[in-house]
């Protein structure tokens, strides 16, 4: 399985001629990431994880493209798509389920976005565990119970987290490999500091953390 990192929280996975894309948001190279994709997985409704206009355009343009997302995202997308056939290819993803999506085995975890502030409503969030290998948590630090994660995508910075929580997430999951996501709001200085802590402390628990540049690919 080939993983390609795009800007912020967007990643592309390729296997056996099939492609799934997770969280093509408005900080990401949406059209490039979605080129030739079979399915899109959305963790939650925030714009940095879902660029609604560009994703809706992709659904209209490709009659084979499917999308999975939390229920609220699905309802909103179907409404914006109107009577377009694309709406029938937008599906609800529930936590604690298992799906076969474009030939990929997908398990779901979590259900709730991390708390930003008590005055800011909490939205649904789904973490996706792909092919018993890669875990994309979206905007949460939910540790997937019963899952032997091999590759962890780590939200290294967010309005809802602090560095100690990032480190605790990595050391709790204990995946052999980890790469950063949710990094678009950090400059080079801040990113190197946070990633340095994750790399050093994660290694104590058997996790090798490495930074991926946008469009960089690794074989999993």
118-143: per-residue pLDDT in tens? Answer: 999 999 999 999 999 999 999 999 99
- Three-state SS at 212: coil
pLDDT at 82: 82
SS3 content of the chain, % helix, strand, coil (to 5): 25, 25, 45
Q: Is the C-alpha dihedral spanning 50, 12, 214, 93 positive or negative?
A: positive
Contact 25, 48 (CB under 8 A): yes
Which residue segment(s) compose the domain that 91 sits in? 2-219
* Lookup: tokens for 106: 């997908």
- Which H or E element spans position 100? strand 98-101
C-alpha pair distances (Å), 98 with each of 30, 77, 152, 201: 26, 22, 19, 32
> What does pLDDT average to over the chain?
96
β-strand 104-110 against 126-130: which pairing, if any?
antiparallel
Contact 179, 153 (CB under 8 A): yes
Contact 93, 104 (CB under 8 A): no
- Tell me how many domains the chain contains: 1
pTM, to two decimals: 0.96
pLDDT, mean of residues 192-199: 97
DSSP bridge partners of 128: 108, 136
Residue 84 has pLDDT above 80, yes or no: no
pLDDT, mean of residues 194-204: 97
Question: 46 in the Ramachandran plot: left (φ > 0), alpha (ψ -120 to 50) or beta?
Answer: beta
Residue 79 has pLDDT above 90, yes or no: no
CATH code, domain with 109:
3.60.15.10
């Amino acid at each position: 399985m080939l993983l390609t990192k795009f800007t912020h929280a967007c990643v592309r996975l390729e296997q056996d001629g099939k492609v799934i894309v997770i969280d093509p948001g408005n900080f990401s190279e949406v059209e490039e990431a979605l080129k030739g994709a079979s399915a899109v997985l959305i963790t939650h409704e925030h714009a940095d994880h879902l660029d609604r206009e560009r994703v809706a355009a992709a659904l209209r343009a490709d009659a084979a493209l499917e999308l999975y997302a939390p229920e609220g995202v699905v309802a909103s997308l179907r409404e914006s798509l109107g009577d377009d056939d694309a709406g029938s290819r937008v599906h609800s993803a529930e936590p604690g389920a298992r799906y076969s999506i474009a030939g990929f085995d997908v398990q779901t975890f979590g259900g709730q976005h991390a708390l930003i502030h008590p005055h800011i409503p909490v939205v649904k969030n789904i973490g996706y565990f792909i092919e018993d290998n890669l875990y994309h948590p979206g905007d949460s630090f939910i540790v997937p119970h019963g899952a032997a994660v091999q590759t962890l995508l780590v939200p290294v910075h967010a309005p809802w987290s602090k560095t100690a929580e990032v480190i605790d997430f990595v050391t709790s999951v204990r995946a052999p490999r980890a790469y950063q996501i949710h990094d678009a709001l950090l400059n080079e200085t801040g990113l190197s500091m946070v990633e340095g802590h994750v790399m050093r402390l994660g290694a104590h628990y058997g996790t090798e953390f490495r930074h991926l540049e946008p469009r960089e690919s690794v074989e999993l």
